[in-house]
Structure formats: C-alpha cells, structure tokens
C-alpha cells in the first residue's frame, strides 16, 4: 500500500509539473501564473450540505442511461474527472482504489457506492474504456464503482457549480486544472465531506462514510461509530485527526467523577467512624 501510494504521488507530481511550460522556454524566468490556487480545493464551509441534482441523467461505460439518484439511498463517493486526462485523473482514481482495497469496517457496494463522472463534454464510451484500462481496478469494485458521462452536456457546469467544484481548460497547457477530490454525499445527495487524493488514508475514507451516513447506522456500525467520535475533520489538513478537546473533556469529566466518588466514600467512612465511637 505504501509503495503504491508513493509511486502514485510521484506520477501525480510529474503530471502536474508537466502541465506547466518548461522554465528553459523563458530564458530561465518562469512567467507569473494566473492560476488561482484555490481552484484545487472546494470551499467546504460554503458548500457542505449542498444538494446535487438527483435527476441528472448519466451514461455509464456500457452505454446505459441512469439517474444520479439511482446511486443514492446510501452514501456515495463522487469523483469528478475527465477521461482524456494526461495522467493526474488516473492517479486520483487509482489512489482511491488503493485506499478502498485496505478499507475495513465498511464495504463498497454494501455500505456505499462509488461514482466517477467526467466533466469534459468530449468524453464518450470509448474514452471511458481507455481510462478504465489504465486503472487496474480491483475485481470486487466492478459492481460498486461506476464510470459515467453526462447525457446532457449543458448540465455539467450547473452540476459542478452546485457543489463548488471549479475547473478550467488551459489552451496553452492543453489540460484541465481542477481539484483531485473525493466528495462524500449523503443518501439524500447532500455534500457531507471532501477528502483529497494522496492526502487521505483508509481511516479517513471510513470516517467520511460515517459522516455521510447521517445517522443511518446498522447495529453492527455502533462500535465503529463510537470510535469515529474520537476524530474530527481538520479543514486545514484535509483529513481527520484525533479530537484533542474531546479527550481533554472526557479526561476532565473522568477526573471530576473520580474525585466525587472518592469524596463520597471518604465522607461515608468518616460518618461510620463517628457512629461507632
């Protein structure tokens, strides 16, 4: 797992750097980029809770039409990519696939679905097929992970805007710039959490799925859910971290309860001593 993710990180970095003109072309001086770095992140505080259009029509890799709502009813991991990508989109999807291989406690297809949709209006069945060939998908993911395109190309921009997914085409670099995001939707289709490729771990995927379940837990989920309460999402790092305030609070509460119990015990023993004297 570590070796795979290290390789993916190297490929992702190479693909990103390759998108920019070589420094030698400018006599050693790199021109000031007009790329807004915020485009690579989704403003979660603004868009969390936003609901996607469940009636949007999509076409899967077999040419079959379906509605986004067909993939809901349980949490959905949504990845927006484009299939003619020079490599970074493959890395993003392959990283998610690698994390799902090591996932425990929740099962793709049973506890959540996965859906990759292209935001490139030029993608079609052929480009989906070529893209999937490079992913080395796990066999167990075939029934729970769908790759699709928008049936109506006019719906692409309104859809991506609704959840704060920004992208733009750079004619000079001949590539799209966009976030490498895993977006977690609730069973009703609301954005619950966003993680980023090469910056998350299977633990983060699992916790985000619990966040997306929005209280719809099975009895077997209770223990895992209780453990998940020990973590909180760190917006600055884009991952889950141990909730220090929670531990401090629990520790303080435990200390208070223990002190109270000791005081009561001491008072009772002292009272009994007085009665016996």
Q: Please give the chain's pLDDT, 277 residues, in tens.
A: 554 555 454 445 444 444 444 333 334 444 444 667 778 899 988 999 999 999 999 999 999 999 999 999 999 999 999 999 877 899 999 999 999 999 998 999 999 999 999 999 999 999 999 999 888 777 767 789 999 999 999 999 999 999 999 998 888 888 999 999 999 999 999 999 999 999 999 999 999 999 998 755 444 444 454 554 565 666 666 666 765 554 444 444 444 445 444 454 555 665 555 555 5
Residue 94 token pair: 């392959």
Using CB atoms within 10 Å of the CB of residue 136, give its burial: 0 to 12 exposed, 13 to 18 middle, 19+ buried. exposed
Provide CB contacts within 8 A for 8, sequence distance 6+: 91, 94, 95, 98, 198
Question: What was the pLDDT predicted at 45?
Answer: 87
How many CB atoms sit inside 10 A of residue 201's CB?
16
Question: What was the pLDDT predicted at 229?
Answer: 54
Question: What was the pLDDT predicted at 251?
Answer: 45
Question: What was the pLDDT predicted at 265?
Answer: 56
Using CB atoms within 10 Å of the CB of residue 40, give its burial: 0 to 12 exposed, 13 to 18 middle, 19+ buried. middle
Question: What was the pLDDT predicted at 92?
Answer: 95
- Distance (Å, whole) CA 103 – CA 224: 13
- Distance (Å, whole) CA 145 – CA 137: 9
Among candidates 33, 17, 43, 22, which has minimal Cα distance to 179?
A: 43
Q: Which domains does the chain have, with CATH numbers?
A: 2-20+35-219 (3.40.30.10)
Instruction: Tell me the DSSP string of 72-121.
Output: -SS-EEEEEE-TT-SSHHHHHHHHHHHHHHT--SS-BTTTBEEEEEE--T
């Amino acid at each position: 797992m570590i070796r795979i993710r290290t390789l993916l990180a190297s490929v992702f970095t190479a693909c990103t750097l390759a998108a920019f003109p070589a420094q030698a072309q400018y006599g050693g001086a790199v021109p000031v980029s007009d790329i807004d770095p915020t485009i690579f992140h989704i403003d979660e505080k603004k868009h969390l809770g936003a609901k996607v259009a469940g009636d949007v029509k999509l076409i899967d890799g077999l040419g079959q039409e379906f509605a986004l709502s067909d993939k809901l009813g349980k949490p959905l991991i949504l990845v927006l990519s484009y299939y003619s990508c020079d490599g970074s989109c493959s890395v993003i999807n392959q990283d998610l696939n690698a994390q799902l291989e090591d996932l425990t406690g929740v099962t793709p297809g049973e506890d959540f679905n996965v859906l990759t949709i292209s935001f490139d209006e030029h993608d079609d069945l052929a480009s989906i097929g070529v893209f999937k060939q490079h992913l080395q998908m796990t066999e167990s993911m075939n029934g729970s992970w769908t790759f699709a395109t928008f049936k109506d190309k006019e719906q692409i921009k309104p859809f991506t805007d609704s959840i704060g997914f920004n992208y733009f085409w750079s004619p000079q670099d001949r590539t799209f710039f966009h976030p490498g995001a895993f977006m977690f939707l609730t069973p009703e289709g609301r954005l619950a959490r966003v993680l980023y490729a090469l910056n998350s771990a299977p633990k983060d995927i699992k916790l985000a799925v619990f966040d997306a379940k929005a209280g719809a837990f099975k009895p077997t989920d209770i223990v895992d859910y209780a453990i998940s309460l020990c973590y909180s999402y760190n917006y600055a790092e884009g991952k889950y971290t141990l909730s220090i305030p929670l531990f401090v609070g629990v520790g303080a509460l435990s200390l208070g309860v223990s002190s109270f119990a000791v005081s009561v015990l001491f008072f009772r023993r002292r009272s009994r001593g007085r009665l016996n004297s």
